[in-house]
Amino acid sequence: MFNDLELTHGSIENIISASPISSVGSSDDLLEVYPLELRFPLERSKRKDNAASECSVTLTNRTDDYVGVWITPINSDTRSSLVFPYMWEEPCYNNGTLFRGLRPHTSLCVNMAMKKKHEQLPLLQEETDMLFQVTMIPAESEKALKRLESDLVNGTDVLKYVATKIYWTTLRAVTYDPEKCQDTVTNQMFIREIPDFGDISSIDVHPTETWVLVGHKTGHVSIWNYETKWRVNMFKVTSYYHISSFPVFHKHVIHSTKFIVGEQWFAAMDGNGSVHIYDYTTNKKMMEFQAHYCPTPGVLPIIVMLLAVHPTEPLLLTAHHKTIKLWDWSQEWACTRTFDAGDDGLLMSLEFGPRDTYTFVSGVLCKGGGHVVKAWDIHSSDPAATLHGGVEHTFYTDSHQHFLVTTTIAYGAKVWDLQTKKCVHQLYEKSSPNLVACHPTLPVLATVMKNDSRLGFWDTRTYRHMKSVELYLEGSIISMVFNGSEDITRLVVASDKEISVIKINMPAIVGYHGHTNARCELAAQKSTQQMHFICGVQRYHIYETIVKKKGNP
């Protein structure tokens, strides 16, 4: 494809170094393909799951233009060995070329798989390298981009749609020995006793103890030590009735649970709108009050009850339907302010800001199918900002700016600047993620689909997709929470059936930015090479890994 374009339109800029593709305009990093080397593990046939190995490539457009991207195999061996397993609804061309259109300020993660019949790829031998050509062409509009794709396929003149330059670079596929690499995730552990108390409806993670607080649909609340796999405590918060009347049953479900660490309490909110406060050291019930009222309907509605605990002040937020209430336990649990979320919809998420402690955000699913996130100040009943296009959300905790990430099925993960109230970037994968979590101190974002098993890690500074991990959790994923330090991080992922605790070696993921370089000795090479990240997809159910410090075997 590139050769045809060059013959038709003259010289085309060629960037083949490890640096990002050259850009339109003055900056050097507005268009990027990352990484330029795809690393597949050796001896894939020895994997117990016998699954195809995969690597991801991030295509990033930081310009204000639409950009067309073509990834084309350069030789026949490449076409026969590697495939793009996930194309959304669009198939590849007959020659194996993948086309994707990038909206302005967007990053797209594309997965490439090694076919099962191929045991390994060439080992950095240039004469037999598996090469892909990546061509990027800016277009002034989405309509122009679609015409550009059609005309390129038909072989017609495209100069009238093309901007000042055409950009290209080369992807190379190689293999590595996984036994000589610093792992991001190792070992597995399983906690199988949690379903004994009924399906999981909510979780929270203690910031200093190795505890997970679990709310159950049976009215129980349990606390688990995820290192010892032992249950620390169990509370019967509401009565559970084995009856066929679902509206009555739903009132006894624990919809939300939160640790109140400073008081050594936890809060649990049931489907009837009641809040229960317990001391988890003495098992004493400290308080119960009716925060919201939920009338029993004739048919089962969608009932959502939400809690959020202020990180430093004695404040608790509760939410149901369109109403948010602020409670102060230092004033004998007085309701100090009420907020009307409006929008003729249903409140689906609620969260305090980690740094600006006067700010919280709420997400609403509107009746017409729209999604609205509002930012609030606890001192005002009027929203400070209204953002369209998200329900689930989380704050950037590593940024000095007021950044918020929202997710919807249709629009991927959106990064918002709360000060300008504008979307600054969007992240897309095989399918749009609808759950998101940010690391408390590092520039790492995790995304996942509720009904999918692929967990993705992103760099929030570069918008690069850094790592994928397969989660084979039974049931639908309902929540995930980061916890830990810059060296050892845990990501707790919960479905309605079980919980995975992923212990992650964060330097192995963010090492290429100066924390700790992840290194791997490649076969058929004389020296150890630095890796941008460790490619390949690994299967885990419950994760508990041993972190390998730099220099350790």
Closest by CA to 219, choosing from 194, 241, 195, is 241
CB atoms within 10 A of CB 526: 6
So where are the chain's domains?
2-176, 179-192+429-553
Question: Residue 165: which residues within 8 A CB-CB, separation 6 or more?
Answer: 12, 13, 22, 24, 138
Contacts of 135 (CB under 8 A, 6+ apart): 1, 2, 5, 69, 70, 72, 166, 167, 168
Handedness of CA 396, 401, 402, 407 (dihedral sign): negative
Residue 465 and residue 480: Cα distance in Å, rounded?
18
- pLDDT (tens digit, 9 = 90+) per residue, 162-201? 555 778 888 888 777 666 665 666 444 556 566 677 889 9
Predicted local confidence at residue 397, as pLDDT: 60
CB neighbours of 150 closer than 8 A, spacing ≥ 6?
none
Determine the pLDDT at residue 388: 83
pLDDT by position in tens, the chain (length 553): 445 444 433 333 443 332 344 433 323 468 899 988 888 776 544 444 455 677 888 999 999 999 988 888 887 665 556 666 544 334 455 556 778 889 999 999 988 877 654 445 544 444 446 788 888 888 888 888 888 777 766 655 555 555 557 788 888 887 776 666 656 664 445 565 666 778 899 999 999 898 999 999 889 999 999 888 889 999 999 976 554 444 445 678 899 999 999 999 999 999 889 999 999 999 999 999 999 987 655 444 577 899 999 989 999 999 998 899 999 999 999 999 999 987 677 888 999 987 767 899 998 888 777 788 899 999 999 999 888 876 677 876 655 567 888 887 666 788 988 888 899 999 988 766 778 888 877 888 888 876 667 788 898 888 999 888 877 788 888 898 988 766 667 888 888 888 888 887 766 666 533 322 222 222 222 222 222 222 222 222 222 222 222 333 3
CATH fold group of domain 2-176: Immunoglobulin-like (2.60.40)
CB of 404 closer than 8 Å to CB of 394? yes
Quick one: which of 298, 296, 330 has its CA closest to 313?
Answer: 330
Q: Show Cβ contacts of residue 457 under 8 Å, excluding neighbours closer than 6 positions.
A: 444, 445, 446, 465, 466, 467, 468, 469, 509
Instruction: Indicate the length of the chain as a whole number.
Output: 553
pLDDT at 234: 94
The pTM score is 0.79
pLDDT of residue 367: 77
Cα 271 → chain centroid? 28
Token code pair at residue 547: 């972190």
